[in-house]
Structure 1
């Protein structure tokens, strides 16, 4: 419903868009700020996809001596709007087209002429942020409830790259929880109640893990002789984790010779494959 009541002594700018119209409104507000803002008001008309609505706005703009600013990419609607505004001597400004035309010339390819694409990008961005926040919240098994909400659950012994993998996959919009497997700690029961297709086990060679853990101890200023980095302890942990993964029935990836990016891409491919099965 378009408001036709305009306060006395105020000009109005009708902001028309075939999407939400936020972009056009922000530009108009920036322009208005250069003048006496009390003399001008804005009315946004979003999701305009037909010439009937355009005609209604044109009639109001003519009646109220208003102006029109628009970000309309649908060719037939934009053409009709431009023609009618010119016919009725209504000041109008196409906010989007000059920029699109410049880019079309520079990139040597035609625009998509699809409305709402910027909000599709925004939605994609927020999905990524949500996935990153999820990975942080449910890192290192700190809250088993995350297992039930995750797209992917990574399990493995300490230093098998669970945390960096979770963050990397979050940038691919996957919600990832990770759970460390330690012989002295019973795995959360949620691991055995979810679909095993959602779980990825990470394993590694004892020698490789020994080197990683030894370097980790050095970085922390601790003695290399700590039980954490001993081969026997590592082998015991790996045998235990293999048993847990077998109970879950999950797919297992050996990360001994793989970079984080390589492992993450492999996990992403596994997820996509299982979604199609």
Structure 2
């Protein structure tokens, strides 16, 4: 390539993939001056025609990632008619995958970027759930999409993490008779708050298992039935005061409880 060599990188999305491949290939030619011009978000045939007309004035190559078949075919025809070299980065791979999987692609531009954004939202939600787990910082209450209340061992933390994987920011708050609940739970809409309760017997069994795992005596107040009843009564009084939904998780899997919360949220919207 001489000083006037130009590579037009065309895409119906941001064009990052084609740009990176082109630069990696161009880097193999030491001393060769190469002007790489990226044109993203091309969605009309007229734009393609204008680029081809400009490219034919120079010593040019067309490199492209056009997912939409109609635009890809039009670009190829125009480039061929003008005698330009053109390289399809995406098309052959899409066709190969379609062949071996016997399925059809979505032909949706920019889908990998959307998947990346979805991934980072999930990571952010998980980090949020960890940061505001078990009432660590009441400031998370006003930032949360969902706030979960309940006594110890009502599955607040695993439920928070499950919902975080649905891209929801969740804060969970333990309720204890001796500890004043954070004022923030009374300052946000009750529809963002969900209370969890359970049968005293189930909690007794779970807490005894917890004590056993910690090597502690079953005689501890934590697993005492009277204490459990006191905690449940106090927690439910707070939930009723807020006016939030109360979900009995006694015989429910995490997925089932989450499904109930998601359904209620959808109905509220």
Fold shared, TM-score > 0.5 on shorter chain: yes
Residue in structure 2 matched with residue 202 of structure 1 by the alignment: 196
Q: More displaced, 197-206 or 80-89?
A: 80-89
Q: Distance in 2 between matches of 1:14 and 1:256?
A: 62
Aligned-partner Cα distance in 2 for 1:30–1:97: 19
User: In the alignment, which residue of structure 1 is the partner of 2:80?
Assistant: 86
Worse overlay, 266-275 or 156-165: 266-275
Distance (Å, rounded) in 2 between the aligned partners of 1:226 and 1:160 = 18
User: Residue 151 of structure 1 contacts residue 176 of structure 1 at CA under 8 Å; is this kept in 2?
Assistant: yes
d(CA) in 1 for partners of 2:207, 2:5: 70
CA contact (8 A) 1:17 1:70 kept: yes
Equivalent residue, structure 1, for 2:209: 215
Deviations 1:176-207 (A, max 9, x none): 11111011111111211211111111001112
Tell me the secondary structure at the aligned position of residue 204 of structure 2: helix
| 2:118 aligned with 1:124 | yes
- State the distance in 2 between where 1:127 and 1:216 align: 33
1:226 equivalent in structure 2: 220
Q: 1:37 to 1:115 in 2, by over 3 A?
A: farther
Provide the residue aligned with 1:97 in structure 2. Answer: 91
Structure 1: distance between partners of 2:191 and 2:150 = 16
Residue among 120, 141, 148 paired with 2:142: 148
Match of 2:240 among 241, 246, 260: 246
Aligned partners of 1:228 and 1:234 also within 8 Å: yes
Sort the Cα spacing of 1:201 and 1:57 in 2 relative to 1 into closer, same or farther, 3 A. Answer: same
Find the residue that maps to 1:15 and give its secondary structure.
strand
Flag structure 1 segments of 5+ consecutive residues without an equivalent: 1-6
Give the deviation of 1:218 after TM superposition: 2.2
CA distance in 2, matches of 1:218, 1:11: 74
* Equivalent in 134, 152, 157 of residue 158 of structure 1: 152
Q: In the aligned structure 1, how far is the partner of 2:5 from the partner of 2:204?
A: 74
Name the residue aligned to 2:178: 184
- Alpha-carbon shift at residue 41 of structure 1 (Å): 4.1
> Partners of 2:190 and 2:253 in 1: how far apart?
24
Of 126, 130, 133 in structure 2, the residue corresponding to residue 136 of structure 1 is 130
Which stretches in structure 2 are left out of the alignment for 5+ residues? none
How many residue pairs end up in the alignment?
A: 269
Quote the Cα distance in structure 2 between the aligned partners of 1:48 and 1:91: 19
Q: Structure 2 length normalisation: TM-score?
A: 0.92
Partner SS, residue 135 of structure 1: helix
- Structure 2 counterpart of 1:236: 230
The 3 A distance-change label for structure 1 pair 211 and 41 is farther
1:166 to partner: Cα distance? 0.4
Higher alpha-carbon deviation: 112-121 or 134-143:
112-121
Task: Tell me whether 102-111 or 20-29 shows the greater mean CA deviation.
Answer: 102-111
| Aligned partner of residue 118 in structure 1, secondary structure | helix
